[in-house]
Amino acid sequence: MFKITNSLISVQTLAENFYAENLIILDASMKPVGFSVNTAEAPIYIPNSLRFDFDNEIKDHNTSLPHMMPTPEFFTDEIQKLGINQDSAIVVYDHVGIYASPRAWWMFRAMGHEQVAVLDGGLPAWIKAGFETTNQLEEKPNTRGNFVAKPQTDLFVDSSYVLKTIEDSHFAILDARAEERFKGVEPEPRAGVKRGHIPNAKNIPFANVLNNGIMKSNSDLQTIFEKYKNNKMLFSCGTGVTACILALAAEQAGYKKFPVYDGSWTEWASASSNLPIE
């Protein structure tokens, strides 16, 4: 039985526990904003990977906002279809390194599943270490798992929650977008989204907590978050994906109990929104 003791695990740890009966490996890749993808290249996966597609499938289908959290009932149904059980140890990875996988990690955490970790360095680190790859994903199993969501409602928050924190000095709203987008110098990649940032928010571009797709050392992360140690941190980004990279980094730095703004800037600054912008 494989037991996860840290939300970030190395490719060596995954390899050592690769044949554990309760191990589930999930490919949570999504195309990064602003990146081009060579579709002519054959896909590459870690063997035994199941697809966890929060961008198109495991999301709230009743909103125009991208990849919002679904209901606990919908999440439970989709996760059971993947054969995932209450005692499953889940490792999520993506094709970039650390990009989309922390979003999947945070979704499971928000649904009460603690035995879940992000693969540090993702697929590139797995390949660099010389471990086996495949060009096929696993099919969903015939037998459903017994996973049941136990929602932790304080891990994802909405715009009304964030609005209340703007003037509250106990909070630090930390935005994971690139500095140029945070300052409103560059346009947003999504049509109809205004430039700027949430009033009083601070900017920690998600790239600042990484070294070539691998999480920085705990001591480096502690230095990054040190100035916010007396605040309740709240993470935001463009669409609620890279905010989860900051959440993972903050946890590695020793912090607990912080929410992610699910709709993030795409909701906050939509054309129909009248929320305050700086």
Nearest Cα to Cα of residue 88 among 46, 137, 25, 40: 25
Pairing of strands 232-236, 8-9: unpaired
* Residue 93, H or E segment: strand 89-93
Burial class (CB in 10 A: 0-12, 13-18, 19+), 105: buried
State the pLDDT at residue 54. 98
Cβ pair 173, 234 in contact under 8 A: yes
Mean of per-residue pLDDT scores for the chain = 96
Residue 271 confidence class, pLDDT cut points 50, 70, 90: confident
The question of whether 237 is a catalytic residue gets the answer: yes
Question: Which two structure tokens, joined as six digits, stand for 93?
Answer: 């990875």
**How many CB atoms lie under 10 A from the CB of residue 213?**
18
Query: What confidence tens digit (pLDDT) does each residue in 167-211 have?
Result: 999 999 999 999 999 999 999 999 999 999 999 999 999 999 999
| Ordered structural domains, the chain, with CATH | 8-128 (3.40.250.10), 156-268 (3.40.250.10)
Mean pLDDT confidence for 18-31: 97
- Whole-structure pTM value: 0.96
Tens of pLDDT, residues 224-263? 999 999 999 999 999 999 999 999 999 999 999 999 999 9
Of 92, 119, 237, 250, catalytic: 237
pLDDT band for 42, please (50, 70, 90 cuts).
confident
Buried-exposed string 126-161: b where 16+ CB fall within 10 A, e elsewhere: bbeeeeeeeeebbeeeeeebebbbeeeeebbbebee
